[in-house]
Structure 1
Amino acid sequence: MNIYGIEVSVVINIFVIITFLILGFTRKWYANKSKGIFQIVMLAYLICVISVTFDKIPLETFDIKNLFNFSLDKFDRSPYKSMINLKIFDGPFRRDQLLNIIMAIPFGMLIPFIKKRSILKNMILCLCFGLAIETGQLMVNIIGNGFFRTIDIDDVICNFAGGAIGLVIFYITASIMRLFEHKMYKKKFWWYVSKIT
């Protein structure tokens, strides 16, 4: 595959937008205006995350054959060893780990608005969010035949922590709003927020 001038993030974002449009029409998200607002916000958030996570990775370096020729044995040799780090928080807390936590907080705050789920299911989604990012980076490295990103287990943990923090913020906010529910019944947007849990 040799497509010049196009980055991986652009392709992934197009896929995400199309997926949201299909889900939006098939599940009639537009029927609930308040919910629709959060769907749009979530879409914008995911686009930003993808743009940052897969920034400046050229699609022209991709070769799908690498995916079929890939062997785990390669990771036993240098320089592949530096590509995946399975040591948990090996060394001092880094700036990028803090940024990973901050990046995932909005995800935890927004997922309850997409669909009403139990706290456990939302926590699992936060974990899947971090795993999806790292898995995506791994696939990009393999197909791209290069080392554009380091696959780090710490990033998964930090993304999960950020998502969990976002969930806590959401549930606290929703609980506070329920205390003032009688004052919000005329304001559909905030009433929706108070009722989502």
Structure 2
Amino acid sequence: MVYFIDFILLGIVYVFLIRKWKKVKNGKSVALFSIMYFYMVLVLYVTVMPFTIPFSGTNDWFMETANFMPFRDLRLKYDGAFREIYLNILMMFPFGLLFPLIKQKGFVKTVFATFLFSFFIESYQLLSVWWNGVQMRIFDVTDLITNTLGGALGYIAYKIFRAMVRK
């Protein structure tokens, strides 16, 4: 039921955004925007949903759940560390591919937008723990790095595909 409410809210946001987007863009752009929006909703589903509402008390130990050491899990040889890195790169790869298609931005702006999206996710995870929300979510600087790398690789793939299409 909680997810249902989250998806309803995200659907309402989509309707308002698509109405605005249709006024200024053509059909191809609206389709790309829609694909990007639904992709981002799937990322939010995997990373931060259900959305936490800060009505309960606060968790004073929330910083204990955060990891500020890059690649700590890999250095400590935790099970699944390589898998997590790979999945984070793979998760943000489409962002780096779709963002320049929609916004016609270069490498630096695409990578920065990927970083901001990832930073939002990681910060929300940290805040949700502070709000006594979902305890299994943690802020992890490695996720921030690997997500951003995924966006950069997505942009490189975009440039390669674009060059191939133009030939």
Does TM-score exceed 0.5, indicating one fold? yes
From 10, 14, 30, the counterpart of 1:20: 14
The reply on whether 1:135 has 2:123 as its aligned counterpart is yes
List 4+ stretches of structure 1 deviating above 6 A: none
Offset of residue 22 of structure 1: 2.1
Alpha-carbon distance in 2 for matches of 1:10, 1:54: 14
* 1:79-118 alignment, distance < 5 Å: 80=62, 82-90=64-72, 91=75, 92=77, 93-118=81-106
Offset of residue 162 of structure 1: 0.5
Q: Aligned pair in 2 of structure 1 residues 31, 131: CA closer, same or farther (>3 Å)? A: closer
Q: Indicate the structure whose relative CO is greater, using CA pairs within 8 Å and at least 6 residues apart.
A: 2
Alpha-carbon distance in 1 for matches of 2:127, 2:23: 31
Runs of 5+ unmatched residues, structure 1: 180-197
What value does the CA root-mean-square deviation take over the aligned residues?
2.5
Is residue 10–residue 51 contact of structure 1 (8 Å, CA) maintained in 2?
A: no
What TM-score, normalized to structure 1? 0.70
Offset of residue 30 of structure 1: 7.7
| Corresponding pairs, count | 161
Match of residue 64 from structure 1 = 55
The reply on whether 1:32 has 2:26 as its aligned counterpart is yes
Match of residue 161 from structure 1 = 149
Segment of structure 1 superposing worse, 16-25 or 95-104:
16-25
Runs of 5+ unmatched residues, structure 2: none
Q: Rg: which structure is higher? A: 1
What TM-score, normalized to structure 2? 0.81
Is residue 24–residue 30 contact of structure 1 (8 Å, CA) maintained in 2?
A: no
Q: Deviations over 1:84-118 (max 9, x none)?
A: 01011121443112111111101111111221223
Match of residue 109 from structure 2 = 121
Alpha-carbon distance in 1 for matches of 2:101, 2:11: 18
